Amino acid sequence: MKLLRFGDVGQEKPGILDAQGNVRDLSGHIKDINAEFLSSEMFARVQDMDPASLPLVEGDPRIAEPVSGVGKFICVGLNYADHARESGMEVPPEPVLFMKATSAITGPFDQVQLPPGSQKSDWEVELGVVIGREAKYVSEADAMDYVAGFCVVNDLSEREYQLERQGQWVKGKGCDTFAPIGPYLVTPEDAGDVENAGIWLELNGERVQDGTTATMVYKVPFLVHYISQFMSLQPGDIISTGTPPGVGLGMTPPKFLKEGDVMRLGIDNLGVQQQSVIRYAK
pLDDT for 42: 95
Reported as a single tens digit per residue, the pLDDT across 41-54 is 999 999 999 999 99
Tell me how far apart the alpha carbons of residues 257 and 51 are, in angstroms, rounded to a whole number: 39
CA distance 201 to 126: 10
Single pTM value for the model: 0.95
Give Cβ neighbours of residue 245 (< 8 Å, ≥ 6 apart). 80, 82, 83, 85, 86, 209, 211
C-alpha span between 109 and 2 (Å, rounded): 17
Angle, vertex CA 108, rays to CA 2 and CA 37, nearest 5: 45
Q: What is the per-residue DSSP string for 32-71?
A: -SSHHHHTSHHHHHHHTS-GGGSPBPPS-PPEE-SSSS--
DSSP per-residue string spanning 126-149: EEEEEE-S-BSS--TTTGGGGEEE
CA proximity to 175, closest of 162, 166, 194: 162
| Per-residue confidence (pLDDT) for residue 81, from 0 to 100 | 81
pLDDT in tens, 84-100: 777 776 788 999 999 99
The answer, yes or no, to whether residue 163 has pLDDT greater than 80, is yes
pLDDT of residue 105: 98
**What's the pLDDT score for residue 235?**
98
Quote the CA–CA distance of 48 and 248 in Å, as a whole number: 43
